[in-house]
Amino acid sequence: MKQLTREEVKRHNIEGDLWIIIDAKVYDLSKFAAEHPGGKITLLHKDIAGQDATDAFYTFHRHNVLQPNLQIGVVEGESARMVIRNAGELSKGPHTEPSWLQDGFSSPYYKDSHRRLQKAMRKFTEEVIYPEAQEFEISGKRVSQRVLDLMAEMEIHAMRLGPGKHLLGRKLMGGIVEPEEFDYFHEMIVTHEVIRMKARGYGDGLLSGSVIGLPPVLNFGSEELKARVIPEVLSAKKFICLAVSEPGAGSDVTAMTTTAEKTEDGKFWIVNGTKKWITNGTFCDYFTVGCRTDGGYTVLLVERTEGVETKPIKTTYSASAGTAYITFTNVRVPVENTLGPEDAGLLVLLSNFNHERWVICCSSVGAQRMAVDEALKHFNQCLVLKKPFEAELPVIRQKLAQMIARVESLQSWLENVTYQMNHMSYREQSKRLVSQISLLKVQCTRYAQETAHDAVLMGGMDFMSQTGLGKNAEHYRSTVPFDALLGGAEDVLADLGVRQAMNKFPENVRL
Ligand SMILES: Cc1cc2nc3c(=O)[nH]c(=O)nc-3n(C[C@H](O)[C@H](O)[C@H](O)COP(=O)(O)OP(=O)(O)OC[C@H]3O[C@@H](n4cnc5c(N)ncnc54)[C@H](O)[C@@H]3O)c2cc1C
């Protein structure tokens, strides 16, 4: 690259002959000036044209706005100072990553295999998933088979279901983690990293339905059903979702009205009813369905067949999620597709909730970390805010303090619960961790909403939802309420958490 002196650059400071320096690199903006969204007048300002515009540039732009083809040289004897994170790398700066990933910190929870997985997952997400996620979030297109196949090759669909027999014999992330050593911290890492695609609707479209719809098959399906369905879903050849909620049965699942009645020969169930808000429902082949039966509730694996109709629901996030309204009209389901005991389906559904809610906590904490990362970096690079920030805006420091404190405390609670999960059977988790996980989820989603509100610090730039410095903060703010509802509404979970704790409270304890 051509070496240019600062004196030489200064001579190119008029319309039609306009050079600037950004981080020791020289750019020729003579032609680009007319296309600059802020107008050529901004670039022709005496502090910019022919000058070092590094601080001004980073006050208004992300690094990726720079067009490498406009670079004509480098400043003689100088080298770039800015630290730009490449795909796959860790963020620099205190609190921008959980402490176990920060230089000089240690943790009792993570081993080398966790670190290897984190590194590989971040690279995969940012290189393979992120580009498509950003595009499809806006277009509403469904995740491509190409991305799903690449994820299947790395066994990411399988890892998202957590530890268990379904991992045995699989080469996790190309073999960097042994299936036998895979634990809930590995799963937490997978969730933390996958959400770095920063696209909430597309993110749910990336087979969230199978994260909640497949466990009942894994835990309660017959051997024949498992042998057929699990490989198809984990290889992304077929898709599954969880269909429990109905127009009149959300928080209270016992209000569901979808019925399943046995045929006289006892060989089939006949299913009738409607389900609403079902993630991935528009494109699923299998539906894990909660039904009302003679003696209670029963969960069935319904296949897409005659009588099953799915329609997209327009929601406030991307259509990529495939959120559906589903109708079942006289659908014949073989009795072999019953998941768990007949009439005891509530047990099947409730035991599924712990894991679903814990996964939501993992993604919520990861998303709050990214919001903190963005806000801290923004203040580090924004000249407009930096000066008053240092001296006159303690209120902004207070906001940042709260954001940091929230995410650090949630991370610690989440790690503690995850550690407990590693040391309990699935059954014990259902017995002992309902209160912990319910209340952790309440705290995660309340804090998430406060942090999303505080993270909107960039003025008008926060409302440029598709480009610009504030795009991630704005996307987060507009989609954060979903987590407060999914897997159980906040109020309901708060109530459940305390009721569960009180149920276990020794009756004779006194002050
Ligand atoms: C985008 C999206 C995706 C979804 N995906 C799925 C899916 O894949 N599968 C599926 O089965 N469902 C899915 N759902 C449904 C979701 O689980 C329900 O929306 C949720 O359970 C809440 O039910 P509801 O919307 O009927 O609200 P309601 O139950 O009517 O609750 C409304 C409000 O009333 C209050 N409330 C209700 N009951 C109580 C109580 N006992 N104590 C205190 N307050 C109470 C709460 O504040 C709550 O916010 C999805 C929903 C959305 C929005």
Same CATH fold assignment for domains 240-343 and 354-503: no
CATH number of the structural domain 240-343:
2.40.110.10
* φ and ψ at residue 306, rounded to 5 degrees: -55, 135
Residue 343 Rama label (left phi>0; alpha psi -120 to 50; beta): left
pLDDT of residue 379: 80
The DSSP line for 54-70 is HHHHHHH--GGGS-GGG
pLDDT of residue 381: 80
Residue 445 has pLDDT above 70, yes or no: yes
501 C-alpha vs ligand 1 centroid, how far in Å? 22
Ligand 1 pocket, residue 279 CB under 6 Å? yes
Residue 347 has pLDDT above 70, yes or no: yes
Q: What is the pLDDT of residues 204-261, one digit of tens each?
A: 999 999 999 999 999 999 999 999 999 999 999 999 999 999 999 998 899 999 999 9
In angstroms, what is the C-alpha Rg of the chain? 26
Closest approach atom of ligand 1 to CA 243: 11
250 C-alpha vs ligand 1 centroid, how far in Å? 4
Ligand 1 pocket, residue 313 CB under 6 Å? no
List helix spans (H) across 323-382.
Answer: 345-381
Ligand 1 pocket, residue 495 CB under 6 Å? yes
Q: Which amino acid is present at 168? A: L
pLDDT of residue 60: 85
Cβ burial, residue 394 (10 Å; 0-12/13-18/19+): exposed
In this prediction, residue 59 has a pLDDT band, given cuts at 50, 70 and 90, of confident
User: CATH for 354-503, among 3.20.20.70, 1.10.10.10, 1.20.140.10, 3.40.50.2300?
Assistant: 1.20.140.10
Provide CB contacts within 8 A for 498, sequence distance 6+. 435, 439
pLDDT of residue 470: 81
Give the mean model confidence (pLDDT) for residues 168-179.
98
**Closest residue to atom 18 of ligand 1, CA basis:** 250
159 C-alpha vs ligand 1 centroid, how far in Å? 27
Ligand 1 pocket, residue 30 CB under 6 Å? no
Give the mean model confidence (pLDDT) for residues 289-318.
96
Residue 136 has pLDDT above 60, yes or no: yes
Residue 350 has pLDDT above 90, yes or no: no
Residue 158 has pLDDT above 60, yes or no: yes
Chain CA centroid to CA 40, Å: 39
231 C-alpha vs ligand 1 centroid, how far in Å? 31
* Nearest CA among 448, 451, 432 for reference residue 497: 432
Cβ burial, residue 177 (10 Å; 0-12/13-18/19+): buried
507 C-alpha vs ligand 1 centroid, how far in Å? 32
Q: What is the pLDDT of residues 183-211, one digit of tens each?
A: 999 999 999 999 999 999 999 999 999 99
Ligand 1 pocket, residue 315 CB under 6 Å? yes
443 C-alpha vs ligand 1 centroid, how far in Å? 17
Q: What is the pLDDT of residues 290-300, one digit of tens each?
A: 999 999 999 99
Neighbour-count burial for 84-121, b at 16+ CB within 10 Å, e otherwise: eeeeeeebeeebbbbebbbeeeeeeebeebbeebbbbb
Closest approach atom of ligand 1 to CA 495: 42
Tell me the pLDDT of the chain averaged across its residues. 94
Quick one: 2-75 is in which CATH superfamily? Answer: Cytochrome b5-like heme/steroid binding domain (3.10.120.10)
Neighbour-count burial for 425-457, b at 16+ CB within 10 Å, e otherwise: eeeebbebbbbbbbbbbbbbbebbbebbebbbb
pLDDT of residue 119: 98
The answer to whether 462 and 453 have CB atoms below 8 angstroms apart is no
285 C-alpha vs ligand 1 centroid, how far in Å? 24
Give the mean model confidence (pLDDT) for residues 392-415.
90
Least confident of 102-111, 334-343, 480-489: 480-489
CATH number of the structural domain 112-206:
1.10.540
The answer to whether 157 and 210 have CB atoms below 8 angstroms apart is yes
pLDDT of residue 391: 45
- Name the residue of 363, 486, 498, 500 to mutate for ligand 1: max ligand atoms within 8 A of Cβ: 486
- Name the residue of 208, 251, 279, 291 to mutate for ligand 1: max ligand atoms within 8 A of Cβ: 251
Residue 306 has pLDDT above 50, yes or no: yes
Q: What is the pLDDT of residues 365-395, one digit of tens each?
A: 999 999 999 999 888 887 655 555 554 567 7
- The domains of the chain are located at 2-75, 112-206, 240-343, 354-503
Q: Can you tell me the distance from the alpha carbon of 331 to that of 264, in angstroms, rounded to the nearest whole number?
A: 15
Least confident of 86-95, 224-233, 388-397, 500-509: 388-397
